[in-house]
Amino acid sequence: MRAPADYGRVAVLLGGNSAEREISLKSGSAALAALEQAGVAAVGIDTAAGDLLSRLASGGFDRAFIALHGRGGEDGTLQGALDWIGVPYTGSGVLGSALAMDKVRAKQVWQSCRLSTADYAVAGPDSDWDALVARLGLPLMVKPSREGSSIGMSMVVHAAELPAAVATAAAHDPQVLVERYIGGGEYTVGIVGSVVLPAIRLETPRTFYDYEAKYLANDTRYLCPCGLPATQEKALQQLAVDAFLALDCHGWGRVDLLLDHSGAPYVMEVNTVPGLTDHSLVPMAARAVSLDFSGLMLAILDTSLRLPQGPPRLLGVGEGADV
């Protein structure tokens, strides 16, 4: 185990200017407090203040812990800038971050790798709505391609709702993804280094797992153990790993998946900087393998060291993480 001093001076990057700023402030503050408690020389920096690169370059920082969600922190732009000034950072690099942030490009990669994902189309104001519904069916999920936390996302049950849903999504990103609805169970799998955490099943009384269900509601249920037979959970974890690596992601992240009513799995999204709030999922899964929040933050900080990773270890509830 590394001593806190081995990490040097750490900049915890949080806040920013994306639509997910408030969640990032919570994630970053929690990470900062845990690192400080562990004895790491960590300093919080709200990137919205500007002049970030000169502050990092002149501040004597040895590495950065990225707790920024959405554009400007999770899409590869910050990663490229940190590479340029030579500051190591947590999580995925430029390519993995950019691909994971772009839901359309991610699907194109997964399809080329023969990984199962929901059928989709890219829509705009001039789309042929009837042809789109005929191809994908109803209901449909409509999403901004390069946005997170379910911002701008909606479910379309009737064809007449589709133009308005696309317009809502387009207000956040001109590239809009329209996706075939996959009924059934919603699951998420966290990855930290070579450790693949147990799957969590998400249940909400809302129409879908939207922003309120993720961050505000008290009636969202998180099931870990997830209730799947061990062999099926392992297969879901393996699909998560395959989807993660296909996008050139590394370090840590979270993969969201669905099981349809027949039990067939679909990979839906990769998050390269998942939330670290009291409602967040990676810390929840980590606790199920006896990895507390402080230990998880140090394991994430370790990803900035870019150490060689062994083969993925698919953990079940109650197994020791040993990260």
Which residue from 149, 130, 131, 152 is spatially nearest to 141, judged by alpha carbons?
Answer: 152
Whole-angstrom distance, CA of residue 97 vs CA of residue 248: 8
* Catalytic entry in 256, 295, 302, 304: 256
18-49 per-position pLDDT tens digit? 888 999 999 999 999 999 999 999 999 999 98
45-89 per-position pLDDT tens digit? 999 988 899 999 889 999 999 999 998 999 999 999 999 999 999
Specify whether 254 is catalytic.
yes
| pLDDT recorded at residue 222 | 94
* Catalytic entry in 275, 295, 302, 304: 275
Say which amino acid occupies 189: V
Specify whether 149 is catalytic.
yes
Cβ contacts of residue 69 below 8 Å, gap of 6+? Answer: 16, 18, 20, 23, 24, 27, 148, 149, 273, 275
257-308 per-position pLDDT tens digit? 999 999 999 999 999 999 998 679 999 999 999 999 999 999 999 999 988 8
Residue 165, H or E segment: helix 162-170
Whole-angstrom distance, CA of residue 282 vs CA of residue 278: 10
Q: How many residues does the chain have?
A: 323
Specify whether 210 is catalytic.
no
- Phi first, then psi: give them for residue 144, nearest 5 degrees: -65, 135
Whether omega for the bond prior to residue 265 falls within 30 degrees of 0, making it cis, is no
Cβ contacts of residue 307 below 8 Å, gap of 6+? Answer: none
Say which amino acid occupies 157: V
233-244 per-position pLDDT tens digit? 999 999 999 999
Residue 188 has pLDDT above 70, yes or no: yes
| pLDDT recorded at residue 211 | 56
* Catalytic entry in 7, 120, 181, 215: 215
Specify whether 194 is catalytic.
no
Specify whether 2 is catalytic.
no
* Catalytic entry in 7, 15, 16, 20: 20
Whole-angstrom distance, CA of residue 244 vs CA of residue 249: 5
| pLDDT recorded at residue 279 | 77
pTM of full prediction above 0.75: yes
Specify whether 211 is catalytic.
no
Cβ contacts of residue 302 below 8 Å, gap of 6+? Answer: 2, 193, 323
Whole-angstrom distance, CA of residue 226 vs CA of residue 222: 8
| pLDDT recorded at residue 241 | 98
Specify whether 218 is catalytic.
no
Specify whether 16 is catalytic.
no
Q: Specify the 3-state DSSP secondary structure of 187.
A: strand
Q: Which residue has the tokens 């996008």?
A: 247
* Catalytic entry in 18, 92, 97, 149: 149
* Catalytic entry in 27, 92, 154, 271: 271
Band (pLDDT 50/70/90 cuts) for residue 220 is confident
* Catalytic entry in 254, 280, 302, 304: 254
